[in-house]
Structure formats: structure tokens, C-alpha cells
């Protein structure tokens, strides 16, 4: 069983991200930042300390999340997991991960195995189809 510190560490990226979003929302509410809508994406602009701090906290949340995902921060201490017994018939389980990056209409996918990468590719193709459909609908009706 892990230490309580490791349980807290997994929440740090989410807390940083949430605090960043709250600071940006507070800056918009105080009139120190503006919100625009470009195509279907909200764009926030501002130069106050509250807005800049919010953006920095969101970036820090992403950085800490990726460092945690790849084990640079929250590594398990050696010897905490029981070693497999020879002849054990239980299947070894592992963590599977994957990701999707959309650059324009081009989905770029990655995953720890082929099945996860194919799931991410399917999600990417569906998202591109939805966005293109929304864009065409807007252009045709507008």
C-alpha cells in the first residue's frame, strides 16, 4: 500500500489546473481579462497579475501531470510490490495509456499498445468529423 504522500501527489496537477481556471475566471469577472470566441474555441486575453498567474498555474498543472505520468515525481519505492512467484498463473496487469493531438484536421495518436492507439485514432476521426460537420453547417446556414 502506498504512502499518504503519494495519494496527495496524484491530485496536485488537478489542483493547479483548477486554481488556474479560477484565477482566469476571476480576472474576467473583475474586468481585467477578456473572452472572445474564435470559430468555436474561447480565447482569453489579459495582462493582469491574476490572469498571468492563472495561465502559469494551468501550464504548471500540465507539466506536473506529465512528469507524474512518466514517473519522474511519483515513483514507487523499490521493494514495495510483491515479487511474482514462479509458476504463478495470474496474468500480469499493466497500465495502458494513450493520447490524441489534433493539429487542424489531422489527428496524431500515440499509445502504449496497438489497441489503445487504435481507440485514440477512432476518437480522433470522430472528433474531426464532428468539427468539420459543425463548420460546414455554420458556413451553409450563415
CB atoms < 10 A from the CB of 46, how many? 19
Least confident residue range of 39-48, 84-93, 123-132: 84-93
Same domain, 23 and 72: yes
The number of domains in the chain is 2
Render pLDDT for 22-73 as a digit per residue (tens, 0 to 9): 998 999 898 898 888 887 777 888 888 888 898 898 888 888 877 776 665 4
Alpha carbon distances (Å) from 116 to 39, 68, 89: 30, 20, 25
pTM of the model: 0.47
Q: Is residue 18 part of a domain?
A: yes
Domain final residue, candidates 22, 43, 77:
77
Give the Cα separation of 66 and 118 in Å (integer): 22
Give the Cα separation of 55 and 16 in Å (integer): 10
Average pLDDT value for the chain? 78
Same domain, 65 and 125: no
Same domain, 72 and 105: no
Give the Cα separation of 93 and 26 in Å (integer): 44
Q: Is residue 92 part of a domain?
A: no
> What domain range is 139 assigned to?
97-142
Amino acid at each position: 500500500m502506498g504512502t499518504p504522500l503519494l495519494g496527495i501527489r496524484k491530485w496536485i496537477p488537478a489542483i493547479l489546473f483548477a486554481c488556474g481556471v479560477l484565477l482566469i475566471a476571476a480576472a474576467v469577472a473583475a474586468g481585467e481579462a477578456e473572452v472572445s470566441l474564435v470559430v468555436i474555441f474561447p480565447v482569453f486575453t489579459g495582462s493582469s497579475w491574476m490572469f498571468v498567474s492563472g495561465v502559469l498555474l494551468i501550464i504548471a498543472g500540465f507539466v506536473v501531470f506529465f512528469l507524474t505520468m512518466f514517473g519522474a515525481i511519483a515513483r514507487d519505492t523499490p521493494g514495495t510490490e510483491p515479487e511474482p512467484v514462479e509458476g504463478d498463473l495470474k496474468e500480469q496487469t499493466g497500465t495502458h495509456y494513450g493520447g490524441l493531438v489534433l493539429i487542424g484536421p489531422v489527428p496524431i495518436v500515440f499509445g502504449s499498445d496497438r489497441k489503445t492507439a487504435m481507440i485514440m485514432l477512432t476518437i480522433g476521426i470522430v472528433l474531426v468529423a464532428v468539427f468539420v460537420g459543425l463548420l460546414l453547417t455554420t458556413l451553409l446556414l450563415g
